[in-house]
C-alpha cells in the first residue's frame, strides 16, 4: 500500500526489495577515485560499435545484463524495464532493450532519470502492477557533446562551471519479494517526485546553478514530511549538481538552519578526481546511476550505510530551448533506500 506523508512524500508499506545492481563505465570514469567499485570498466569508449550512440546503448545493455544476472534472473522474469538517457527520443535506452521482449517504459528526467525510474518503479511494485522490474539510465560523453554542444573535433574551451558528461550506466532490479527468503536486505521505503523549479538560469554551462533550487525544494520537503533531520540518514546524495550546485544547495539549506554537510555528497563531485580536469564535476544520466549502482549500494550491502537518500537532479532543457534563450528548469526526484536485518 502507498501512503502519502505530509505534502508530497510517498511511503511504501511493503518496501520493495532492491535485489541487485550493476554499474558499467568508461575509461575516464574507471580511472577515477571510484573505479574499483564499478562492475565493468571498458578500455574502449566506443564499445566496439560504429557510433557513439550505439556505444552508449551497448554500455547500458551491459549494466542491465549484469544486474539481471546478479539477481539470479532472466530478462523474461522482468515485468517491465524503465530506462532513459540524454539522447533524442531516448534512443540509447530503446536500443539497449529492443531485443529483450520485455515491456518498456522510456524515462526522461535528464540527470534525475535514475531516481525517477526507481521512484516510479517503487510505485509499480508496491501497487502490484509489477512483481519484478528493472530501472536503468545511461549517458556518454561523446554522444552528449555531439547533441548538446559541438562536434568533438571542434575543441571548444569549457567554462569553469561546466560539468563533464559521464560515460556510464547503472541498472537496478526491484522486486516485491526476495527469492532468497527472509525480510532483510536493501529496500526502497519512500519516494518523492520533484517539482520543476525555474529561477531564470539560461547558461547551459552552469547546470549546477539551474538544478540546485530544485534539490533544495525536494530535500527540504522530504525532511519536513518525514519529520527527520539530516543526521537521521547515513548519507544524503544528489546527482548531479557538481561542485558549483552542491555549494549552492548547502547554502540554501543553511538559510533554513538545515546543515546537510555532515552526511552530504554529490555523485558529480565523487566520480572524478581533481587531477582529471572535469571542471565542476560529472553530470549525465549515467553519472548518478553508476555511482548509486556501484559504490553506494555496495556500501549498503557491506553494512557501511544503512539509510540513504538518493536525490537525482536534472536540468530540463534541449539544444533548441537553449538556442532560443529559454531558461533552464531544474527537477529533483528522491528515493529513500534502507538496509534492514543483519
Does the pLDDT of residue 179 top 80, yes or no? no
| Predicted local distance difference test score (pLDDT) of residue 340 | 85
pLDDT tens string 78-136? 999 999 999 999 999 999 999 999 999 999 999 999 999 999 999 999 999 999 999 99
With cut-offs at 50, 70 and 90, classify the pLDDT of residue 178: confident
- The CA distance from 59 to 44, in Å, is 11
Report the percentage of the chain scoring pLDDT > 90: 86
Does the pLDDT of residue 182 top 90, yes or no? no
Report the percentage of the chain scoring pLDDT > 70: 96
Q: What is the mean pLDDT of residues 1-5?
A: 96
| Predicted local distance difference test score (pLDDT) of residue 159 | 81
Total count of residues recorded for the chain? 342
| Predicted local distance difference test score (pLDDT) of residue 183 | 58
Does the pLDDT of residue 55 top 80, yes or no? yes
| Predicted local distance difference test score (pLDDT) of residue 342 | 46
pLDDT tens string 225-244? 999 999 999 999 999 999 99
For residues 53 and 195, the answer to whether their CB atoms sit within 8 Å is no
As a whole number, the mean pLDDT across the chain is: 94
pTM tops 0.75, yes or no: yes
1-342 folds as Peroxisomal Thiolase; Chain A, domain 1 (3.40.47)
Amino acid at each position: 500500500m502507498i501512503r502519502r506523508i505530509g505534502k508530497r512524500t510517498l511511503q511504501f508499506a511493503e518496501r520493495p526489495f532492491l535485489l541487485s545492481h550493476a554499474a558499467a563505465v568508461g575509461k575516464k570514469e574507471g580511472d577515477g577515485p571510484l573505479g574499483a567499485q564499478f562492475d565493468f570498466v571498458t578500455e574502449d569508449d566506443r564499445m566496439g560499435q560504429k557510433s557513439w550512440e550505439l556505444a552508449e546503448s551497448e554500455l547500458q545493455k551491459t549494466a542491465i545484463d549484469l544486474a539481471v544476472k546478479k539477481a539470479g534472473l532472466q530478462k523474461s522474469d522482468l515485468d517491465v524495464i524503465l530506462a532513459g538517457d540524454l539522447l533524442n527520443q531516448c534512443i540509447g535506452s530503446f536500443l539497449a532493450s529492443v531485443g529483450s521482449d520485455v515491456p518498456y517504459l522510456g524515462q526522461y528526467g535528464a540527470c534525475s532519470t535514475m531516481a525517477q525510474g526507481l521512484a516510479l518503479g517503487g510505485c509499480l511494485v508496491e501497487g502490484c502492477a509489477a512483481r519484478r522490474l528493472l530501472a536503468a539510465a545511461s549517458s556518454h560523453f561523446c554522444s552528449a557533446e555531439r547533441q548538446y554542444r559541438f562536434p568533438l573535433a571542434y575543441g571548444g574551451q569549457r567554462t569553469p562551471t561546466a560539468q563533464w558528461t559521464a560515460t556510464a550506466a547503472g541498472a537496478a532490479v526491484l522486486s516485491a519479494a526476495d527469492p532468497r527468503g527472509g525480510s532483510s536486505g536493501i529496500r526502497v521505503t519512500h519516494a518523492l517526485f520533484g517539482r520543476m523549479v525555474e529561477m531564470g538560469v539560461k547558461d547551459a554551462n552552469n547546470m549546477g546553478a539551474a538544478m540546485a533550487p530544485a534539490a533544495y525544494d525536494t530535500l527540504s520537503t522530504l525532511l519536513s514530511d518525514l519529520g527527520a533531520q539530516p543526521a537521521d540518514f547515513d548519507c544524503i546524495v544528489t546527482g548531479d549538481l557538481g561542485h558549483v550546485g552542491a555549494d549552492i544547495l548547502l547554502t540554501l539549506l543553511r538559510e533554513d538552519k538545515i546543515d546537510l554537510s555532515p552526511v552530504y555528497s554529490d555523485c558529480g563531485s565523487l566520480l572524478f578526481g581533481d587531477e582529471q580536469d572535469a571542471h565542476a564535476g560529472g553530470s549525465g544520466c549515467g553519472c548518478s546511476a553508476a555511482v548509486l549502482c556501484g559504490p553506494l549500494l555496495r556500501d549498503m550491502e557491506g553494512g557501511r550505510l544503512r539509510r540513504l537518500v538518493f536525490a537525482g537532479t536534472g536540468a530540463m532543457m534541449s539544444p533548441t530551448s537553449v538556442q532560443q534563450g529559454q531558461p533552464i528548469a531544474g527537477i529533483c526526484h528522491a528515493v529513500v533506500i534502507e538496509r534492514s536485518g543483519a
